[in-house]
Amino acid sequence: MVTKIRIGALISGGGTNLQAIIDSCESGKICGEIVFVGTDNPDAQGLKRVASRRIPTFVVDYKSAIKNFNNDLNKIELPDDFNINDLLLKYSVFPADADLEKTKKFLTLRAAIEKKLLDEMRPYPFDLLILAGFMRILSPYFIDKINSEPDNFRIMNIHPALLPAFPGLDGYGDTFRYGCKIGGCTVHFIDYGEDSGPIIGQRAFPIQENDTLNTIKKKGLALEWELYPSCIQMFAQNRLQIVKKIFELDSGEKVIRTVVKIKGES
């Protein structure tokens, strides 16, 4: 018997990627099963997609939690192993010259909310955590709890642009407004930066004169629904190998990057 991988999912919105992944699990395109769906948004439409299935769901309402904590900082319950200096060293989403106090507050609030998220996830052991339109930054506190070792990547994300171009919240919008002739989507592992983790797969589509943001989103999403399941299946087949590659720059300087090598591809 083939062992299926256990997949946990976090969503914030419509959940069309989640749907494609559920369908792929059911049809056998992914050798896996969804063991929970969690969200930061009580109104996430994607929750309806699992309502008729026996998949556990939960909500950790980020918006209310942030408001609560901001109103009364004494309400923040920090995890016992919270260490702000460790998080500051690792966190690389904000620029290096960002206001230190603001970064500290951001990371403190996040860790407190992520503790709740981890508590909700605990009853459902998983092999892979997928972010399927989860619109919240995960702090190193959370990431370290899932990855356990630095290069043991277990969180995957889909991003609506051809990374490393256009990280952030609005990949298709940024691609469109820049006047790009090609758009695309990327599946990557999560690291401590903003959409900066090792790339697993990418798909591209042409952008024509008469394309609008809407048509670009439609083209992109159609590719996302193929790409994400295929990357998850490669994880399930144990085909994603993390390797360090050394690249030499024109200056002669050498840089080391962590990249994904796909086993079975030359």
Interface characters, 23-52, with ligand GRF (x: CB under 6 A): -----------------------x------
Rounded to the nearest 10°, the torsion over CA 174, 184, 96, 82 is 120
Q: Which stretch binds ligand GRF (CB under 6 A): 8-16, 22-30, 143-151, 193-201?
A: 8-16
Burial degree of 43 (CB within 10 A; 0-12, 13-18, 19+): exposed
**Smallest distance from ligand GRF to CB 32, Å:** 17
Catalytic site includes residue 188: no
Among 5, 7, 10, 15, binds ligand GRF (CB under 6 A): 15
**Smallest distance from ligand GRF to CB 250, Å:** 33
Site for ligand GRF in 214-253 (CB under 6 A): 221, 224
> What is the CB-side half-sphere exposure of residue 263 using CA atoms within 13 A?
10
Cβ proximity to ligand GRF: between 58 and 82 the closer is 58
Q: Could you tell me how many residues of this chain bind ligand GRF (CB under 6 A)? A: 15
**Smallest distance from ligand GRF to CB 18, Å:** 6
Site for ligand GRF in 125-184 (CB under 6 A): 132-133, 158-160
Helix/strand/coil for 128: strand
Distance, in Å, from the CA atom of 175 to the CA atom of 93, rounded to the nearest integer, reads: 20
Among 9, 10, 16, 38, binds ligand GRF (CB under 6 A): 16
Q: Strands (DSSP E) along the chain, which ranges?
A: 5-11, 32-39, 57-59, 128-131, 155-159, 182-189, 199-206, 240-248, 254-262
Distance, in Å, from the CA atom of 78 to the CA atom of 172, rounded to the nearest integer, reads: 36
**244 φψ region: left (φ > 0), alpha (ψ -120 to 50), beta (else):** beta
For residue 3, what are the CA distances in angstroms to 31, 32, 68, 75, 181? Answer: 8, 8, 43, 43, 42
Asked if 197 is part of the footprint of ligand GRF (rule: CB under 6 A), the reply reads: no
Catalytic residue among 136, 154, 159, 219: 159
Cβ proximity to ligand GRF: between 35 and 227 the closer is 227
Cβ proximity to ligand GRF: between 10 and 76 the closer is 10
Contacts with ligand GRF, residue ranges (CB under 6 A)? 11, 13-17, 46, 132-133, 158-160, 185, 221, 224
By annotation, the residues acting in catalysis are: 159
